[in-house]
Amino acid sequence: MEERGSPDRTWYLVLDGATDVVTRARDFTRTALTAWHWLPAGQREDQEAAEDVLLLVSELVANACLHGGGPGALLLDCTEERLRIEVTDGNPAPPRPSVPRPGRPGGHGLLIVERLSRGWGSQPWPGGKSVWVEVLCPSPVQRGRAGN
């Protein structure tokens, strides 16, 4: 497993061939959020924003496991305004929201992604695709990065 990160902007984690990928991706993201001053957050809404990011990472990585043959890599790209999360996998088919079935688990992943993000989509990637999601940065992150 390869990890590359900079507190400045972009963090990259190779997940191909790794075990316990959802936990690894969440831990990696939590470390990045701490470096970017999302955690610890002073305001409840800032803490909720960080928890939303961890949930989005979990959903994208889990969807890559279930529908994409496993995740290849996780990319986190933080600017003053937004955080972009990308997960690659080996299935070239774009993700499609499924219809949740009453009384059965699952089928809510992309609905959660849609509700928590300001936008999401997919793009072709060598050997598969990249699924991305973007969220707005909390105001302390914007203020802290603007002063750098």
Comparison of pLDDT for 124 and 108, the residue scoring more: 124
135/56 Cα distance (integer angstroms):
10
Cα distance from N-terminal residue to C-terminal residue, the chain:
31
* CATH code that applies to domain 3-146: 3.30.565.10
Q: Where are the domains of the chain?
A: 3-146
- pLDDT for 76 equals 97
User: pLDDT tens, 7-48?
Assistant: 578 999 999 999 999 999 999 999 999 888 886 545 666 688
- pLDDT for 43 equals 65
- pLDDT for 117 equals 94
- pLDDT for 5 equals 52
In this predicted structure, the answer to whether residue 140 has a pLDDT above a threshold of 50 is yes
The interaxial angle of helices 44-67 and 109-116, nearest 10 deg, is 150
Is there a contact between 138 and 49 (Cβ–Cβ < 8 Å)? yes
pLDDT interval class at 109 (50, 70, 90): confident
- pLDDT for 144 equals 53
144/148 Cα distance (integer angstroms):
7
**Helix, strand, or coil here: 138?**
coil
User: pLDDT tens, 45-98?
Assistant: 668 889 999 999 999 999 999 999 999 999 999 988 899 999 999 999 998 877
pLDDT interval class at 6 (50, 70, 90): low
- pLDDT for 148 equals 44
- pLDDT for 101 equals 66
